[in-house]
Protein backbone atom coordinates (compact mmCIF):
# COMPACT_ATOMS: atom_id res chain seq x y z
CA UNK A 1 0.00 0.00 0.00
CA UNK A 2 1.17 3.55 -0.74
CA UNK A 3 -0.10 6.24 1.62
CA UNK A 4 -0.53 9.66 0.07
CA UNK A 5 -1.04 13.04 1.74
CA UNK A 6 -2.41 15.37 -0.91
CA UNK A 7 -2.28 19.03 0.06
CA UNK A 8 -5.33 20.82 -1.35
CA UNK A 9 -5.74 24.32 -2.68
CA UNK A 10 -8.88 26.33 -3.11
CA UNK A 11 -10.20 28.27 -6.06
CA UNK A 12 -11.55 31.83 -5.85
CA UNK A 13 -14.87 30.54 -4.43
CA UNK A 14 -13.16 28.64 -1.61
CA UNK A 15 -13.91 25.32 -3.31
CA UNK A 16 -11.32 22.63 -4.03
CA UNK A 17 -9.24 23.92 -6.98
CA UNK A 18 -8.39 22.36 -10.34
CA UNK A 19 -4.79 21.54 -9.36
CA UNK A 20 -6.09 19.45 -6.46
CA UNK A 21 -8.67 17.60 -8.58
CA UNK A 22 -5.86 16.76 -11.03
CA UNK A 23 -3.63 15.57 -8.17
CA UNK A 24 -6.45 13.33 -6.92
CA UNK A 25 -6.49 11.62 -10.34
CA UNK A 26 -2.72 11.10 -10.07
CA UNK A 27 -2.99 9.70 -6.53
CA UNK A 28 -5.88 7.39 -7.41
CA UNK A 29 -3.87 6.10 -10.38
CA UNK A 30 -1.31 4.59 -7.98
CA UNK A 31 -1.68 0.91 -7.15
CA UNK A 32 -3.29 0.23 -3.78
CA UNK A 33 -3.13 3.88 -2.69
CA UNK A 34 -4.66 5.27 0.48
CA UNK A 35 -5.28 8.95 -0.17
CA UNK A 36 -5.79 11.68 2.42
CA UNK A 37 -6.55 15.23 1.32
CA UNK A 38 -5.22 17.93 3.66
CA UNK A 39 -6.86 21.33 3.56
CA UNK A 40 -6.04 24.50 5.50
CA UNK A 41 -9.02 25.99 7.31
CA UNK A 42 -12.63 24.83 7.36
CA UNK A 43 -13.23 22.40 4.53
CA UNK A 44 -15.96 23.27 2.01
CA UNK A 45 -19.00 20.93 2.18
CA UNK A 46 -18.06 19.44 -1.21
CA UNK A 47 -15.06 17.55 0.29
CA UNK A 48 -17.42 14.93 1.69
CA UNK A 49 -17.88 13.52 -1.81
CA UNK A 50 -14.24 13.62 -2.99
CA UNK A 51 -13.03 10.25 -4.33
CA UNK A 52 -10.44 9.79 -1.53
CA UNK A 53 -10.23 7.87 1.76
CA UNK A 54 -10.10 10.78 4.19
CA UNK A 55 -9.89 14.54 4.55
CA UNK A 56 -7.88 16.24 7.29
CA UNK A 57 -8.12 19.93 8.11
CA UNK A 58 -5.23 21.95 9.51
CA UNK A 59 -5.19 25.53 10.77
CA UNK A 60 -6.23 28.19 8.23
CA UNK A 61 -3.64 30.08 6.22
CA UNK A 62 -2.70 33.15 8.22
CA UNK A 63 -3.10 36.21 5.94
CA UNK A 64 -0.07 37.71 7.72
CA UNK A 65 1.91 34.77 6.31
CA UNK A 66 2.15 36.72 3.05
CA UNK A 67 3.09 33.81 0.83
CA UNK A 68 5.66 32.34 3.21
CA UNK A 69 3.26 29.79 4.73
CA UNK A 70 5.23 29.17 7.93
CA UNK A 71 2.25 27.85 9.86
CA UNK A 72 1.00 25.58 7.05
CA UNK A 73 4.52 24.18 6.61
CA UNK A 74 4.82 23.56 10.37
CA UNK A 75 1.40 21.88 10.53
CA UNK A 76 2.20 19.67 7.56
CA UNK A 77 5.57 18.68 9.06
CA UNK A 78 3.78 17.68 12.26
CA UNK A 79 1.14 15.77 10.28
CA UNK A 80 3.81 13.93 8.26
CA UNK A 81 5.65 12.90 11.41
CA UNK A 82 2.46 11.62 13.04
CA UNK A 83 0.97 9.85 9.99
CA UNK A 84 4.14 8.71 8.12
CA UNK A 85 2.96 8.94 4.47
CA UNK A 86 5.00 7.55 1.55
CA UNK A 87 4.15 10.47 -0.67
CA UNK A 88 3.17 14.12 -0.17
CA UNK A 89 1.58 15.70 -3.26
CA UNK A 90 0.98 19.29 -4.30
CA UNK A 91 -0.07 20.94 -7.55
CA UNK A 92 2.78 22.88 -9.14
CA UNK A 93 1.36 26.26 -8.19
CA UNK A 94 2.97 29.14 -6.31
CA UNK A 95 1.63 27.62 -3.06
CA UNK A 96 2.74 24.07 -3.93
CA UNK A 97 6.20 25.16 -5.05
CA UNK A 98 6.84 27.20 -1.89
CA UNK A 99 5.31 24.88 0.69
CA UNK A 100 6.45 21.67 -1.07
CA UNK A 101 10.10 22.73 -1.12
CA UNK A 102 9.99 24.06 2.45
CA UNK A 103 8.27 20.92 3.74
CA UNK A 104 10.73 18.58 1.99
CA UNK A 105 13.65 20.46 3.54
CA UNK A 106 11.97 20.49 6.96
CA UNK A 107 11.35 16.72 7.02
CA UNK A 108 14.57 15.80 5.18
CA UNK A 109 12.70 14.25 2.24
CA UNK A 110 13.42 14.13 -1.47
CA UNK A 111 11.64 16.83 -3.49
CA UNK A 112 10.53 16.13 -7.07
CA UNK A 113 9.00 19.26 -8.62
CA UNK A 114 6.96 19.57 -11.83
CA UNK A 115 6.20 15.86 -12.32
CA UNK A 116 4.16 14.78 -15.34
CA UNK A 117 3.89 11.09 -14.41
CA UNK A 118 3.96 9.18 -11.16
CA UNK A 119 3.87 5.47 -10.45
CA UNK A 120 4.46 2.95 -7.69
CA UNK A 121 4.50 -0.03 -10.02
CA UNK A 122 7.26 0.57 -12.54
CA UNK A 123 10.39 0.01 -10.47
CA UNK A 124 11.42 -1.79 -7.32
CA UNK A 125 8.66 -2.51 -4.78
CA UNK A 126 8.46 0.17 -2.12
CA UNK A 127 9.78 2.93 -4.38
CA UNK A 128 8.01 5.76 -6.18
CA UNK A 129 8.82 6.56 -9.81
CA UNK A 130 8.37 10.04 -11.21
CA UNK A 131 8.87 11.55 -14.65
CA UNK A 132 9.68 15.23 -15.02
CA UNK A 133 10.84 17.52 -17.84
CA UNK A 134 14.51 18.55 -17.81
CA UNK A 135 16.68 20.85 -19.98
CA UNK A 136 13.86 23.36 -20.32
CA UNK A 137 11.37 20.71 -21.39
CA UNK A 138 13.42 19.22 -24.23
CA UNK A 139 13.76 15.84 -22.48
CA UNK A 140 11.90 13.80 -19.89
CA UNK A 141 13.85 12.23 -17.01
CA UNK A 142 12.63 9.27 -14.99
CA UNK A 143 13.60 8.96 -11.32
CA UNK A 144 13.03 6.01 -9.01
CA UNK A 145 12.94 7.29 -5.43
CA UNK A 146 13.66 4.69 -2.79
CA UNK A 147 13.93 6.96 0.22
CA UNK A 148 10.38 7.76 1.30
CA UNK A 149 8.55 9.97 1.99
CA UNK A 150 8.99 11.96 -1.18
CA UNK A 151 7.38 15.35 -1.78
CA UNK A 152 6.19 15.98 -5.34
CA UNK A 153 4.53 18.81 -7.22
CA UNK A 154 2.49 17.93 -10.32
CA UNK A 155 2.50 19.98 -13.53
CA UNK A 156 -0.82 21.66 -14.32
CA UNK A 157 -2.71 19.74 -16.96
CA UNK A 158 -0.52 16.60 -16.76
CA UNK A 159 -3.50 14.74 -15.27
CA UNK A 160 -7.19 15.19 -16.04
CA UNK A 161 -9.30 16.65 -13.23
CA UNK A 162 -10.79 13.56 -11.63
CA UNK A 163 -14.31 12.35 -11.93
CA UNK A 164 -15.99 10.04 -9.43
CA UNK A 165 -17.12 10.45 -5.88
CA UNK A 166 -16.40 8.91 -2.50
CA UNK A 167 -17.35 9.18 1.14
CA UNK A 168 -14.17 10.25 2.95
CA UNK A 169 -14.03 10.79 6.69
CA UNK A 170 -13.36 14.43 7.63
CA UNK A 171 -11.28 15.15 10.75
CA UNK A 172 -9.26 18.06 12.09
CA UNK A 173 -5.55 17.72 12.82
CA UNK A 174 -4.47 19.96 15.64
CA UNK A 175 -0.78 20.75 15.77
CA UNK A 176 0.76 22.39 18.81
CA UNK A 177 3.47 24.03 16.72
CA UNK A 178 3.29 27.80 16.54
CA UNK A 179 6.03 29.13 14.34
CA UNK A 180 8.22 31.98 15.33
CA UNK A 181 8.72 33.96 12.13
CA UNK A 182 12.35 34.64 11.28
CA UNK A 183 11.25 35.95 7.85
CA UNK A 184 9.63 39.37 7.69
CA UNK A 185 7.58 40.20 4.62
CA UNK A 186 7.59 43.93 4.09
CA UNK A 187 5.06 44.19 1.27
CA UNK A 188 2.78 42.10 -0.90
CA UNK A 189 1.01 43.09 -4.08
CA UNK A 190 -2.16 41.20 -4.91
CA UNK A 191 -2.42 40.10 -8.50
CA UNK A 192 -5.46 41.65 -10.17
CA UNK A 193 -7.09 39.37 -12.67
CA UNK A 194 -10.22 39.33 -14.76
CA UNK A 195 -11.54 36.14 -16.30
CA UNK A 196 -9.96 32.73 -16.34
CA UNK A 197 -6.66 31.94 -14.55
CA UNK A 198 -3.73 31.59 -16.96
CA UNK A 199 -2.80 28.15 -15.58
CA UNK A 200 -6.37 26.86 -15.92
CA UNK A 201 -7.18 28.32 -19.34
CA UNK A 202 -8.03 25.99 -22.25
CA UNK A 203 -6.81 28.66 -24.68
CA UNK A 204 -3.83 30.95 -24.08
CA UNK A 205 -3.00 33.85 -26.41
CA UNK A 206 0.57 34.97 -25.74
CA UNK A 207 2.49 37.95 -27.06
CA UNK A 208 6.21 38.60 -27.35
CA UNK A 209 8.69 41.27 -28.26
CA UNK A 210 7.47 41.15 -31.85
CA UNK A 211 4.33 43.02 -30.77
CA UNK A 212 6.49 46.12 -30.43
CA UNK A 213 4.75 47.70 -27.44
CA UNK A 214 2.05 47.38 -24.79
CA UNK A 215 -1.00 48.44 -26.90
CA UNK A 216 -1.25 45.26 -29.03
CA UNK A 217 -1.87 43.25 -25.84
CA UNK A 218 -5.42 44.66 -25.93
CA UNK A 219 -5.93 42.90 -29.31
CA UNK A 220 -4.61 39.69 -27.71
CA UNK A 221 -7.02 40.23 -24.81
CA UNK A 222 -9.92 40.61 -27.31
CA UNK A 223 -8.98 37.32 -28.97
CA UNK A 224 -8.57 35.58 -25.61
CA UNK A 225 -11.95 36.96 -24.59
CA UNK A 226 -13.72 35.60 -27.67
CA UNK A 227 -12.09 32.20 -27.14
CA UNK A 228 -12.75 32.16 -23.39
CA UNK A 229 -9.01 32.08 -22.74
CA UNK A 230 -6.28 34.02 -20.96
CA UNK A 231 -3.41 36.24 -22.06
CA UNK A 232 0.20 35.14 -21.65
CA UNK A 233 3.50 36.75 -22.56
CA UNK A 234 7.18 36.10 -23.13
CA UNK A 235 9.69 37.33 -20.61
CA UNK A 236 10.97 39.90 -23.12
CA UNK A 237 7.50 41.49 -23.25
CA UNK A 238 7.18 41.44 -19.45
CA UNK A 239 10.69 42.80 -18.91
CA UNK A 240 9.86 45.64 -21.31
CA UNK A 241 6.99 46.56 -18.98
CA UNK A 242 4.33 45.95 -21.66
CA UNK A 243 2.41 43.53 -19.44
CA UNK A 244 2.66 42.39 -15.83
CA UNK A 245 5.04 39.55 -14.93
CA UNK A 246 2.10 37.50 -13.64
CA UNK A 247 1.39 36.78 -17.35
CA UNK A 248 4.88 35.43 -18.05
CA UNK A 249 5.03 31.91 -19.47
CA UNK A 250 8.25 29.93 -19.30
CA UNK A 251 11.07 28.60 -17.21
CA UNK A 252 10.94 31.51 -14.80
CA UNK A 253 7.24 32.17 -15.36
CA UNK A 254 4.12 30.04 -15.36
CA UNK A 255 3.67 26.59 -16.85
CA UNK A 256 0.55 26.23 -18.97
CA UNK A 257 -0.93 23.19 -20.73
CA UNK A 258 -3.92 24.54 -22.68
CA UNK A 259 -5.64 22.84 -25.61
CA UNK A 260 -4.47 25.71 -27.83
CA UNK A 261 -1.50 28.04 -27.28
CA UNK A 262 -1.36 30.95 -29.73
CA UNK A 263 2.11 32.56 -29.81
CA UNK A 264 2.20 35.98 -31.47
CA UNK A 265 5.57 37.62 -32.15
CA UNK A 266 7.38 35.08 -29.96
CA UNK A 267 10.59 33.49 -31.24
CA UNK A 268 10.19 30.24 -29.28
CA UNK A 269 13.34 30.35 -27.12
CA UNK A 270 13.81 27.16 -25.08
CA UNK A 271 13.15 29.06 -21.83
CA UNK A 272 9.77 30.18 -23.19
CA UNK A 273 8.88 26.75 -24.57
CA UNK A 274 9.61 25.22 -21.14
CA UNK A 275 6.37 26.82 -20.00
CA UNK A 276 4.10 25.90 -22.92
CA UNK A 277 5.52 22.84 -24.71
CA UNK A 278 2.92 20.54 -23.13
CA UNK A 279 0.11 22.50 -24.86
CA UNK A 280 -1.98 20.21 -27.06
CA UNK A 281 -1.59 22.46 -30.13
CA UNK A 282 0.67 25.47 -30.62
CA UNK A 283 -0.30 28.07 -33.23
CA UNK A 284 2.45 30.53 -34.21
CA UNK A 285 2.16 33.91 -35.87
CA UNK A 286 5.61 35.24 -36.68
CA UNK A 287 7.06 37.19 -39.59
CA UNK A 288 10.29 35.15 -39.60
CA UNK A 289 9.69 31.74 -41.16
CA UNK A 290 12.97 30.44 -39.68
CA UNK A 291 11.91 31.26 -36.14
CA UNK A 292 12.25 28.38 -33.67
CA UNK A 293 8.56 28.60 -32.74
CA UNK A 294 7.65 26.99 -36.09
CA UNK A 295 9.57 23.85 -35.07
CA UNK A 296 7.22 23.45 -32.12
CA UNK A 297 3.98 24.71 -33.70
CA UNK A 298 1.29 22.48 -35.19
CA UNK A 299 -0.12 25.42 -37.17
CA UNK A 300 1.77 28.51 -38.23
CA UNK A 301 1.31 31.72 -40.19
CA UNK A 302 4.42 33.47 -41.49
CA UNK A 303 3.44 37.10 -41.51
CA UNK A 304 3.19 40.40 -39.70
CA UNK A 305 0.85 40.09 -36.72
CA UNK A 306 -0.63 43.50 -37.56
CA UNK A 307 -2.03 42.03 -40.79
CA UNK A 308 -2.77 38.50 -39.58
CA UNK A 309 -4.30 39.06 -36.15
CA UNK A 310 -7.21 41.42 -37.02
CA UNK A 311 -8.51 39.09 -39.76
CA UNK A 312 -7.93 36.06 -37.50
CA UNK A 313 -9.94 37.76 -34.75
CA UNK A 314 -12.71 38.74 -37.20
CA UNK A 315 -12.91 35.16 -38.52
CA UNK A 316 -13.08 33.69 -35.02
CA UNK A 317 -15.86 36.18 -34.17
CA UNK A 318 -17.77 35.19 -37.34
CA UNK A 319 -17.40 31.49 -36.58
CA UNK A 320 -18.50 32.03 -32.98
CA UNK A 321 -21.52 34.01 -34.15
C1 LIG B 1 17.57 31.89 -17.02
C2 LIG B 1 16.61 32.41 -18.06
C3 LIG B 1 15.27 32.27 -17.84
C4 LIG B 1 14.35 32.72 -18.79
N5 LIG B 1 13.00 32.54 -18.55
C6 LIG B 1 12.13 32.90 -19.52
C7 LIG B 1 10.74 32.68 -19.36
O8 LIG B 1 10.26 32.20 -18.31
N9 LIG B 1 9.91 33.03 -20.36
C10 LIG B 1 10.37 33.59 -21.54
O11 LIG B 1 9.55 33.88 -22.42
N12 LIG B 1 11.67 33.82 -21.70
C13 LIG B 1 12.56 33.53 -20.72
N14 LIG B 1 13.88 33.79 -20.93
C15 LIG B 1 14.27 34.64 -22.08
C16 LIG B 1 14.36 33.86 -23.40
O17 LIG B 1 15.66 33.33 -23.54
C18 LIG B 1 14.08 34.81 -24.60
O19 LIG B 1 14.97 35.87 -24.56
C20 LIG B 1 12.66 35.34 -24.65
O21 LIG B 1 11.73 34.29 -24.53
C22 LIG B 1 12.44 36.06 -25.96
O23 LIG B 1 11.16 36.63 -25.98
P24 LIG B 1 10.45 36.90 -27.37
O25 LIG B 1 10.27 35.63 -28.12
O26 LIG B 1 9.23 37.70 -27.07
O27 LIG B 1 11.45 37.91 -28.10
P28 LIG B 1 12.43 37.69 -29.32
O29 LIG B 1 13.31 36.52 -29.13
O30 LIG B 1 13.06 39.01 -29.58
O31 LIG B 1 11.45 37.33 -30.52
C32 LIG B 1 10.55 38.23 -31.11
C33 LIG B 1 9.91 37.51 -32.28
O34 LIG B 1 8.91 38.34 -32.85
C35 LIG B 1 8.96 38.22 -34.24
N36 LIG B 1 8.38 39.45 -34.82
C37 LIG B 1 8.93 40.70 -34.83
N38 LIG B 1 8.07 41.58 -35.39
C39 LIG B 1 6.96 40.86 -35.74
C40 LIG B 1 5.73 41.21 -36.35
N41 LIG B 1 5.44 42.47 -36.72
N42 LIG B 1 4.81 40.20 -36.56
C43 LIG B 1 5.08 38.93 -36.21
N44 LIG B 1 6.24 38.55 -35.62
C45 LIG B 1 7.17 39.50 -35.38
C46 LIG B 1 10.42 38.02 -34.59
O47 LIG B 1 10.56 37.36 -35.84
C48 LIG B 1 10.90 37.18 -33.41
O49 LIG B 1 10.80 35.78 -33.70
C50 LIG B 1 14.80 33.36 -19.98
C51 LIG B 1 16.18 33.49 -20.19
C52 LIG B 1 17.07 33.03 -19.26
C53 LIG B 1 18.55 33.18 -19.52
Grade residue 137 by pLDDT with cuts at 50, 70 and 90.
confident
**Given this structure, which CATH class describes domain 2-172?**
alpha beta
pLDDT at 260 over 70: yes
Ligand 1 site, residue 270, Cβ cutoff 6 A: no
pLDDT at 292 exceeding the cut of 90: yes
Residue 123: predicted pLDDT: 63
Residue 292 CA: nearest ligand 1 atom is 49
Atom of ligand 1 nearest to the CA of 285: 43
Query: What's the mean per-residue pLDDT of the chain?
Result: 92
Residue 41: its pLDDT value, please?
A: 93
**124, pLDDT greater than 80:** no
For residue 247 and ligand 1, the question of a CB distance below 6 A is answered with no
- Identify which of 114, 204, 209 to mutate to test ligand 1's pocket (most ligand atoms within 8 A of the CB): 209
Q: Report the residue among 231, 239, 267 best suited for mutation to probe ligand 1: largest number of ligand atoms under 8 A from its CB.
A: 267
What is the predicted pLDDT for the residue at 317?
A: 94
Query: How many angstroms separate the Cα of 235 from the Cα of each of 42, 214, 232, 278, 296?
Result: 38, 13, 10, 18, 18
User: What is the residue with the minimal CA distance to atom 50 of ligand 1?
Assistant: 271
pLDDT of 162 > 90? The answer is no
Question: Using CA positions, which residue lies closest to atom 7 of ligand 1?
Answer: 250
**Mean pLDDT, to the nearest integer, of 28-37?**
94
Confidence of residue 138 (pLDDT cuts 50, 70, 90): confident
Instruction: Convert the pLDDT of each residue in 293-317 to its tens digit.
Output: 999 999 999 999 999 999 999 999 9
309 ligand 1 Cβ < 6 A: no
Q: What is the pLDDT of residues 47-65, one digit of tens each?
A: 999 999 999 999 898 877 7
Mean pLDDT of 22-33: 94
The pLDDT of residue 179 is 56
CA distance 261 to 267: 14
User: CB-based contacts of 32: which residues, under 8 Å, 6+ apart?
Assistant: 1, 2, 120
Per-residue pLDDT band at 183 (split at 50, 70, 90): low
pLDDT at 142: 94
Superfamily of structural domain 198-320: TPP-binding domain (3.40.50.1220)
| Every domain of the chain and the residues it spans | 2-172, 198-320
- pLDDT at residue 131, as a whole number: 96
Could you tell me if the CB of 238 is within 6 A of ligand 1?
no
Q: What is the pLDDT of residue 194?
A: 75
Residue 92 CA, distance from chain mean position: 4
Averaged over 181-200, what is the pLDDT?
76
Question: Atom 48 in ligand 1: which residue has the minimum CA distance?
Answer: 267
Give the lowest-confidence range in 68-72, 139-143, 168-172, 264-268.
68-72
Q: Is the pTM of this model over 0.85?
A: no
Between the CA of 268 and the centroid of ligand 1 the distance, in Å, is 6
Is 245 touching ligand 1 by the criterion CB < 6 Å?
Answer: no
Please report, rounded to a whole number, the percentage of residues in the chain having pLDDT higher than 70.
Answer: 96
The DSSP annotation for 92-131 comes to: SSHHHHHHHHHHHHHHT-EEEEEESEEESSSSSTT-EEEE
Domains 2-172 and 198-320 share a fold: yes
Nearest residue (CA) to ligand 1, atom 49:
267
What is the per-residue pLDDT across 67-96, written as a single tens digit (0 to 9) for each?
789 889 999 999 999 999 999 999 999 899
What is the pLDDT at residue 244? 93
Q: Is the CB of 234 under 6 A from ligand 1?
A: yes
- Ligand 1, atom 27, residue with closest C-alpha: 209
The average pLDDT across 223-232 equals 96
Going from the C-alpha of 147 to that of each of 110, 118, 126, 151, the distances in angstroms are 7, 15, 9, 11
Decide whether any atom of ligand 1 lies within 6 Å of the 251 Cβ.
yes
**Residue 272 Cβ contacting ligand 1 at under 6 Å:** yes
> What is d(CA 201, CA 239) in angstroms, rounded to the nearest whole number?
23
Amino acid sequence: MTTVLLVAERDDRGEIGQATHQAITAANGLKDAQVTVVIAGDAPASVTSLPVDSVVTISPIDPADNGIYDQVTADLAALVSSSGPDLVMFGKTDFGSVVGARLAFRIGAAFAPDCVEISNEAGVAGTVGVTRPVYGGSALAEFEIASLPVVVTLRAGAFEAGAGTGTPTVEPFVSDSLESRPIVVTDTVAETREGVRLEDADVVVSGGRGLGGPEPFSVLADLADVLGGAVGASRAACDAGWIDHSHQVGLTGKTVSPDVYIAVGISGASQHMAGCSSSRAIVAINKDGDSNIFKEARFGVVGDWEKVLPSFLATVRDLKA
